[in-house]
Amino acid sequence: MKKLLVLLMGVAIVIAITACGSKETKPVETNTPAATTQAAGGQNVVLKATNFKFDQAEYRVKKGEPVTITLDNSQGIHGASIKEFNMKLDNSNKTFTFTPEKTGSFPITCSIMCGSGHANMKTTLIVE
């Protein structure tokens, strides 16, 4: 009698596991190599800022096509500046559109004294 109970429990467990397994969906791949998308109106780059870094080590765009850079302060208050293109973003001025006419890598730095990690808040815009 006891053996039968154990067997039934075993079967129930197997069914439960199988049922769960079939419901499982594969996670959607959202990890694009860089936060750049080619929209109809040009290229879009979102600089997602947290304490104390930008979400990507580099952001790639194409030369000769308009780029809109958006600052997204998801943690803390940060700014973003690219000296080469006279860009200065902060919470009151979150987007900047320009057309890079030269290739190269251009440093993006935080332009607001945001705390202890401020000096290391750097990333790069790569125009290719």
Q: Which residues bind Cu ion (CB under 5 A)?
A: 110, 114, 118, 121
Judged by beta carbon, residue 52 or residue 100, the one nearer Cu ion is 52
Give the whole-angstrom CA distance, residue 10 versus residue 106.
Answer: 62
Give the whole-angstrom CA distance, residue 124 versus residue 82.
Answer: 9
CB of 32 to Cu ion, least distance (A): 26
Q: How many CB atoms lie within 10 A of CB 78?
A: 29
CB of 22 to Cu ion, least distance (A): 48
CB of 72 to Cu ion, least distance (A): 15
Judged by beta carbon, residue 114 or residue 125, the one nearer Cu ion is 114
Give the number of C-alpha atoms closer than 13 A to the C-alpha of residue 124, restricted to the C-beta side. Answer: 10
CB of 58 to Cu ion, least distance (A): 18
Judged by beta carbon, residue 125 or residue 127, the one nearer Cu ion is 125
Judged by beta carbon, residue 121 or residue 127, the one nearer Cu ion is 121
The rounded Cα 112 to chain-centroid distance in angstroms is 21
Given CA atoms 13, 14, 19, 20 in this order, what sign does their dihedral have?
Answer: positive
Residue 30 · residue 56 · CB < 8 Å: no
